[in-house]
Each structure stands twice: as structure tokens, then as C-alpha cells.
Structure 1
Amino acid sequence: MEPLALFLAILAAALAVPVPKLLHQARFRARSPWAAMLLWQAIALAGGLSLIGAPLIFGLSPFGDSPLDATITAVSLVTTEDLSALDEHNVHPVHLFALCLAVLLAGHLLLTLARTYLRVLSARRRHRQLVHLLSTPPESGADVRQLGPLTEAHIIEHDAPLAYCLPGRTHASSVTVLSRGLLEQLTREELAAVVAHERTHLQQRHHLLTMAFEAWYRALPWLPTTRYGREAVLELTEMLADDGALREHTRDDLLRSLALSTPESSTESASQSAPAETLAATPGATGVLITTARLQRLLVPRPGLSRSSLAGVVLLALGLLAVPTGLILLS
């Protein structure tokens, strides 16, 4: 099984550096954000499986000709405490080290995901409490008329233009937060476009994607793929939310709302400096993620990918997932 382990190691290296760098710069992401998002998820899962599978398969190689047989043999030796059989199987310290490395990597990824999830939930709970303390419901007739059906929105008495969503366990428990400055600067149509953008974040559960890739980055911050993936997912979720808003509102209303509600300090690197818990707990915060690619696709819309191109992306994503999974489980 050593050739199999070598192949998985090569695949892990490819998905760690060159592939994410190419996808991060790919122009088609602005034409079909969901296709790019699908590829990023496939790269993350396939990369993680390959990274764990390579040392696992190498460590099991002395115990059998297939991963399943080798696992059964190794488990039986451990349960019977027949350590003398290790010499019969030509097990060397490097094989034991590889097995320990695979277990540690898997445990590190799972524990980091759980830790990130708990930290995000805690940050979101604290943020929700602050919103309830500092915000007010629409009081004046002008507020109600401007918000329309969104009378459950929380309004913060602050001059800075601000709009974001706080996801809940259910859609009904989610909260949309608007600032007084935003209400004063936008017309009803422009405000409706902003609200539709935030609702798309909630409906498509973008906070789960950003949280997963944030955990991936925290677990392996030294890998280029985790940094590229984190940045890409933050940008792609904004593009997807823009598309959701454009299904109900005009492009001009959305562009004007972004132009009027984006602070001058907002830059393409703002997402890198914002606190991780804030980004994961409040997806879609206005003025944080106005990237060049996002702005260009709004100003100069281009047609989406053809059906054949989309089919190719889907097949590529399925292939990326199938290869390491099949090699580990079915070899």
C-alpha cells in the first residue's frame, strides 16, 4: 500500500498549494459563485482526507494488502497485546510514527472544529444580548413605512451605516440589525435591497460555511489552502447574497445601497483583520467585504457559466471527493 500512500501525499500537496492558488485567482468565480464554492468545499474535504490518509495508509502498509485488512490485523494485534507479531509484519518505528501522526491530525481537525463552533456560539450569544440591550424596535411611523414587512428588525441608534444578520438555530430566531445612520441614508428601495442581501445570508446558512473554513484555517494556518479558502468563502458568500438580492431588486438599488453604506475605511483586506468570531457570527456585515471582483460583477455583469462548464465543475468536485475516499475505504 505504500504507492497508495505516496499518491495520497502527492494529492495532499497539490491541494495544499498550487490548486487553491489557481482557484483563488480564477475569474469564473464571479460568473458562478456557487460553482466556485462547491470546488472550495471539495478541495477542503479532499485535502483533509488526503492529509490524514497518506500517513494512515503508510502506517498500515505492513499489516495487509488493503486498508481494511490492514486495519483489522492491526486492531487484533493491539487488542491481544501481541507485540511480538510486529517483527513478523516488519513493522518499523516509522510506521508507528505515521499512524500516530494520522490520529493526531484527525483529532486536531475535529477538536479545532468543535472549539471554533463553541467560540462562535458564545460570541453570537454575547452579541445577541448586546443587540437586545442597545437596540430598539421601529417606533415612528416613518420607520415602519421605510422598513415595510421587516418590522422585527433591531435598530441601533448609531450614526454609522451598518447592517448585518445574527443567525439563530432556526430562521425565526435569526436577527437582522440595522443602524439609524443606515435608515437615514438609504431610500426604502435601497434599504429593501440591503435587507434582501442579509436575508439571503440567513436562508442559505452562510454562517455554517464561514465557520467551517474558519476552523480549517485555525487548525492549519501554515497551509496556503486554508488561508486562500477562508478568504474565498467570505467573498463568495457575499456574491451569493448579492445574487439573492438581485432576484428581488434592481442592480442600481443594490449598488447605491453599498456605495452609501460602505465606510471609507472598508478595503479588500478588511476581512483578514476582522475578528474571526465576528465574521463567523455576523455574516454579511455591511462594508466589510467589498472586494474588487464583487464590485466589478455588480458594475459590469457577465453571463454565468454554460451548462457544460457547470457540469464539468460538478464532476470535478465529485472526483476530488471520490478519489481519496475511494482509495482509503475501497482499496
Structure 2
Amino acid sequence: MEILALALGLLALTLAVPVPMWLHEARFRARSPWVWMVLWQAIALAGGLSMVGAPIIYGLSPFGVSFPEAVRTAVGLTTAEDYSALATLNVHPWHLFSLCLGLVLGAHLVLTLARTFYRVRRARSRHRQMVRLLSTPLRTGERAEADDAPAFEAQVIEHDAPLAYCLPGRTNAGSVTVLSRGLLDQLTKDELAAVVAHEQTHLRQRHHLLTMAFEAWYRALPWLPTTRYGREAVLELTEMLADDGALTEHSNERLLRSIATTSTGEGGARTELEPGASGLITGVRLQRLLTQPETLGRAPTAGILAVSLLLLTAPTALILFG
């Protein structure tokens, strides 16, 4: 059990510092953003589980040779209030401290996720009400698509700055795309269509759930490199994925022109997944649109996905069967 705790601790340390720092500098992440998105999710889940599991496993090590046995023994002693047996099992104060540390850390992560989810839902609800009060529906003649085939609900706010963002709903049908009058005045219909396609990809692929999870991870442990780099990476990768969705229907040049226009609004407003968040137009993303790099080959893709699967299953297997 102590060796298992050490292994989980080393895994948590590796995923917390060197791995995210290396991935943060890896420019080839632009070649297949969905693959790197899977890897970052695996890193977050494996890192969190290892970080919580290591102190819990060490704290339970005197109670049994395996995690299930140790849990049964500890629960049995607690239920029977047989605290005199702790001395027989060589349970020391640092074991109890480690166990409490792991439980508190796990509770902190879960509660931070719940709190972030609640705050985002409440803020989004308030923002939706403001949009209803201060905007008007996009008229048929202003739509980016053919006038006889409107494919999305959009609201127009009377503002000179070029703005475009999404308000995700519980379903795609309940989501709203918000556009500004300044954007409608500056973009052609084709360019507006590229912006809308970008936003619709965000909604269709539910990117707001990914960004919310990594935002909660960052808020829970802001001092860890993995939470900071993970949040930045997911924001960038979701933008790349949304670009890919738009590029299935529109050219690189059209999408680049629309990005250039929406990036010059007040406060650097751009096409956004979450209203009010700062846009993320990185050099890697722009270079990707300009050069259109080849996607990763089958072997590298299979290797990264295999590593992701190993990260997702190894900590759980170690805890349950180690």
C-alpha cells in the first residue's frame, strides 16, 4: 500500500509539473486538436485522481494490504468505535493526517466543480435575460445563410463594436447566437456565415462543458502548472475545433477575415464560447489557419490515444487492484 501511494504520488507530480509544461510548448498540438483535447482530459482526470488517491492510500496503508480491505477494516473499526485497535495496527498520527488531507482535497475539487457550475449557470441565465431585453431577433434579410433557410436563432444587439458569441442552452435548440450591429455592418454575408459556423460548432460539440470543467480545476488549484496550462490549452483547442467546424463549409481566407474583424472590437472581443471571457487568438491558431498543417498520422494518433487510455485506467486499477 505504501509503494502504491508512492507510485500515485509520483504520477501526480509528473502530471502536475513537467508534462503540462512540455505540452504547453509543443507546437504540433495544432495538427490534430481533438487528439490533444482527449489527452488533456486524461491528464486532468488522472492527475486529480492520483493527487487525491496518494494521501488516502498512504493513510489507509496500516489497515490492509489492498485498498478494498483497508477500507473495510477502517469502516469496521469506526463503526464499532474500537479505537484501541489503532495502536495494534501501528496507525500513527501522520497516517490519519494523510487520510484527512486526501479526503479534504477530494471534497474541495468536487465542491469547486459544483460551485463553478452553479455560478456559470446563474451568470448565463442573467445574461440571457439581458439579451432578451436589449436585443432584437436577426431579420431574415440579415441572415448569413440563404434567406429561405434560416438555420439558427440569433439576436442582434445595437452596438458598434463587432461582437459574436454564444449563449449555450440545455439543448442546442435552446442556445442563442448573439451578434452586434457593428459586426453585421462590417462583415459580408459569407464572412458572417463563417463566424456563425464557428459559434455553432462550439454549441454542437458542447465546448462550454469542457471549459467549465477546466475552469473549476484551475480555481480549485490555481498554483499548479497543470491547472493553468490545462485551462489555456483547452480554450485554445476549443477555438481550433470550432475553426475546423467552420472550415468544413467556408474557406480559410473567409474565416481569417471574419476573425480579424471580430478581434478588433472594444476589449478585444472575438467569437466566444462564453460571453464576457477574453478571446484566445494565439499565434499557433493563426499559423494553423494560414498554413493548414497536415493532421497527425495514424501511428502518433494511436499512440497519444493509447497513452490517454492508460492515464484514465491506470490510477483506478492501481487503487482498486494494486
TM-score bracket, normalised by the shorter chain, equals: over 0.9
Instruction: Give TM-score, length-normalised by structure 1.
Output: 0.92
Q: Does 1:319 align with 2:318?
A: no
Work out the CA distance in 2 between the residues paired with 1:43 and 1:60: 25
- Unpaired segments ≥5 residues, structure 1: 272-278
Q: Does 1:243 align with 2:244?
A: yes
Q: Which residue of structure 1 aligns with residue 157 of structure 2?
A: 156
Query: Aligned residues, how many?
Result: 319
Residue 232 of structure 1 deviates from its aligned partner by 0.5
Q: Which residue of structure 1 aligns with residue 31 of structure 2?
A: 31
**What is the letter of the counterpart of residue 275 of structure 2?**
T
Work out the CA distance in 1 between the residues paired with 2:144 and 2:237: 32
Q: Which residue of structure 1 aligns with residue 142 of structure 2?
A: 143
Counterparts of 1:2-21 in structure 2, within 5 Å, are 2-21=2-21
Work out the CA distance in 2 between the residues paired with 1:23 and 1:258: 26
Contact 1:164 1:282 in 2 (8 A): yes
Cα deviation per residue 1:43-92 (whole Å; 9 max; x = unaligned)?
00000011011101100110111111111101100000000000110000
Classify the secondary structure of the residue corresponding to 1:249. Answer: coil
Residue 152 of structure 1 deviates from its aligned partner by 2.6
Residue 288 of structure 1 deviates from its aligned partner by 1.3
- Unpaired segments ≥5 residues, structure 2: none
Cα deviation per residue 1:267-308 (whole Å; 9 max; x = unaligned)?
7xx99xxxxxxx77439x7x8111111000001111000011
Counterparts of 1:1-331 in structure 2, within 5 Å, are 1-139=1-139, 142-144=141-143, 148=147, 149-150=150-151, 152-263=153-264, 281-282=274-275, 288-331=279-322
Work out the CA distance in 2 between the residues paired with 1:121 and 1:135: 20
Which 4+ residue blocks in structure 1 deviate beyond 6 angstroms? 264-267
Which stretch shows the higher mean deviation, 22-31 or 41-50? Answer: 22-31
Contact 1:120 1:280 in 2 (8 A): no
Contact 1:266 1:289 in 2 (8 A): no
Contact 1:109 1:216 in 2 (8 A): yes
Identity %: 66
Work out the CA distance in 1 between the residues paired with 2:10 and 2:144: 60
Residue 142 of structure 1 deviates from its aligned partner by 3.7
Classify the secondary structure of the residue corresponding to 2:97. Answer: helix
Work out the CA distance in 1 between the residues paired with 2:10 and 2:141: 62
Which stretch shows the higher mean deviation, 162-171 or 151-160? Answer: 151-160
Work out the CA distance in 2 between the residues paired with 1:57 and 1:105: 13
Residue 262 of structure 1 deviates from its aligned partner by 1.2
**What is the letter of the counterpart of residue 305 of structure 2?**
V
Contact 1:137 1:153 in 2 (8 A): yes
Work out the CA distance in 1 between the residues paired with 2:54 and 2:234: 27
Contact 2:165 2:274 in 1 (8 A): no
Classify the secondary structure of the residue corresponding to 1:155. Answer: strand
Work out the CA distance in 1 between the residues paired with 2:77 and 2:233: 45
